[in-house]
Structure 1
């Protein structure tokens, strides 16, 4: 049965820039599209694309240039002109890989082997986080809301100083987490009294109402509860939100997902999967008590699971999913009307990106459409059974085994057939990869095209190339 549409509050699109940062012209096209699709804000996770300066300059990306201050200001101006608010997300506890990977900052890790978690006992840690926030706030004139991350603070309590701290009776890892976040939130309120502070909720899910009440966080932060699964447990999610509310945190947010949450290396998203996640969130929203002040929902679009993992789906292939998810929120369901709205707004035959086919229409209504089409095509080729099982093919296993290769004793007739099949695959892949690379370079930096190629194409082409070279070497030994 259909739910009422998403009740109230903002609909933010999460722009994760820790991988595949769009070129500025493309970023503007995306913002314009997000606004047309019904989003009214951006949650921007800059990471190493922010133009940090001074002592923090080392945090800037090195594989491609960070955005310049002018580019950031023009992006915000452009977003505002489209009626969209820009909200920065700066990690302040967990997921600080892009900071703590630098040798100069190793000493600020909670434990030497965990690159993501900040040591909560060192004053320099809070100093570092506050300096990052100061620079970000300064480049966001008129900012009134900051997201301080604080999700997935792995192995907290396992560092030497934490172990000593926890040795005192009555102290817990929960308190250790809360005390650091409270310290950061208080410092923010001191620097910018009007600032609203959002944080991810996952580290607080197991905490009792009493622990939360006593933490000092009540009235300081607005938890954002995230769940990206199509099987989201409605009852459990409602009771979690009600718990936060009873503890005094009445201003709450939800976070769903339109890409980047299926698997760490997914290349093409399934719209239906993400629509199902939003349908569950609509049920949650419809079941909440009136005490809860739902501030809005963020549609998360992760570009990497963390700074050191591979690229997830790039934005162009995920735009049909985003459009479908926003329409689901607007209608309360994803029926014919909502589906037609998506296909009409993007000029495509289906909301599933895998079904949009190749076209020669211009991509003004769907910026990046050509790249999306090429990626879908290439992805299905790379995962086709013919290519995937080539090495276990009867002829390869029977007439060109590792033993044959080592002995250089082969049946020329059969190996030449294997060679021509592998060469044909390589030629087709190369043509598609070249076309895709050319298109990708229009929208993304060179480093992104390089990374995507090495992640998805090379693992398939390298063994094929190896086979063709080895066959040539073996046949030379057998044929006059």
Structure 2
């Protein structure tokens, strides 16, 4: 609590307005725990989708950590059929009908609600990358944004929704995405539409979203619909009030940064409330939002994000109903970007974020509960390897992989692996000049080969350990992608050095020559 108050005092030490003063005073006297509302954990399945055996261990753990539900973003892991079968992943099999039913059964038995997330406007890369749907792009070179003027665009997303709902007959809430609709309005059909007096880009966005939402509500009147809020932020209060979204969708306001603008967020919530959008969601992050290629999750960064959301919750405008918070765990920034941190590496952060919401601060008590539930000694996964475990010492599902990833990541970023830049013998006797001309001093070769081979062997042993753990939890294709992303680019220069050196030495010595083994020199 003292840390939380300190943050509030620091941010509002010199209030510049009555609003800021009221907010600062409220933060210091508030009930700091997260207000009534669901805590939903987002599982992004468009990269590194867990094997079903791992999912069956993961879901009970998420429930034990204090979540109320799962926000499932299937993308190409959903078993689409008919015209949409092309959307299925080809790198690894999508989940089967039976597996999707099993996910729901395991969630239900652990008291977790399921909320599917289906993108219906932006971030449709996994759809529009396919030649069959190229003509539905807003702009030819933007694979994410749907052309809202084509009749088939609406039919496409509604068919996606229909198939997902068919396999989720018991849900009460559906997320329809609609964030980051890049380059909307820049297609030729949109430019023509926008040239008509009274038409603007906001209306273009709203027309498509309301058309999709109304169609879903007609078919499934019991469903609550949620959408990301970022495309609404620049709209006026009047535009929002007249949009048709009121009573149709519940916006989910997202911000994943550790320095979330609390006052600005509260003002935005007030605008939504005044426009009639009184039922809102928040969205934070427990992983996948630090950097596009982050490998090891920084827990404190994500805890700080939740501390800021607690400040927002404490200053919630009257009349605003916070339905809950989605704690996102992005696996990719979008369908075509690289992998973010794997789920096992992010679980200490997830546990810490949920406990922060439960306690209202990241207190000693909250940290102790995280370490006890997960059986770890520290909430920072980067410090976990080699530390004594806590309690029963039974590793949490995926902990061995998390520790192996941290160890390998540290080695891959170490000074040792800057071998080509730092090794005296390489710099002096096997420079790019020497390599190009296949010139080498045989007296130095053995020293370089020994050091490089020893280093490469040590790294490859850890790579092998990571791969063995990874394929137990994720498809083989995930292990291959992770290795190509994080390992190959680092080790390839070392491998090429040894290959080039072997070629050069063949130019300098007789074919029958062999270096003496260690201990025979001199």
* TM-score exceeds 0.5: yes
TM-score scaled by length of structure 2: 0.90
Q: 3-state DSSP class of the match of 1:171?
A: coil
TM-score scaled by length of structure 1: 0.98
> Any unmatched runs of 5+ in structure 2?
5-29, 511-522
Residues 139-174 of structure 1 show CA distances to partners (whole Å, capped at 9, x for unaligned) of: 012211100000000010111101111111232111
Q: 3-state DSSP class of the match of 1:210?
A: helix
- Map 1:27-426 onto structure 2 (within 5 A): 27-358=55-386, 366-388=396-418, 390-426=420-456
Distance in 1 between the 2:463 and 2:387 partners? 18
Distance in 1 between the 2:157 and 2:167 partners? 16
Alpha-carbon deviation of 1:389?
A: 5.3
Q: 3-state DSSP class of the match of 1:217?
A: coil
Aligned to 2:466: 436
Q: 3-state DSSP class of the match of 1:313?
A: coil
Distance in 2 between the 1:434 and 1:86 partners? 36
Q: 3-state DSSP class of the match of 1:184?
A: helix
Distance in 1 between the 2:98 and 2:348 partners? 30
Alpha-carbon deviation of 1:181?
A: 0.5
Contact 1:382–1:388, Cα closer than 8 Å, also in 2: no
Contact 2:80–2:87, Cα closer than 8 Å, also in 1: yes
Alpha-carbon deviation of 1:396?
A: 2.2
Distance in 1 between the 2:346 and 2:97 partners? 28
Distance in 2 between the 1:363 and 1:184 partners? 50
Residues 399-456 of structure 1 show CA distances to partners (whole Å, capped at 9, x for unaligned) of: 2121111112222233332222221121011111111111111111110011001110
Distance in 2 between the 1:413 and 1:297 partners? 65
Distance in 2 between the 1:174 and 1:192 partners? 26
Moved more, 353-362 or 84-93: 353-362
Return closer, same or farther for 1:446/1:359 CA change in 2, 3 Å cut-off.
farther
Distance in 2 between the 1:352 and 1:100 partners? 39
Return closer, same or farther for 1:176/1:324 CA change in 2, 3 Å cut-off.
same
CA RMSD of aligned residues (A): 1.4
Residues 239-272 of structure 1 show CA distances to partners (whole Å, capped at 9, x for unaligned) of: 1111111100000000000000000000001000
Contact 1:109–1:119, Cα closer than 8 Å, also in 2: yes
**Structure ID, larger Rg:** 2
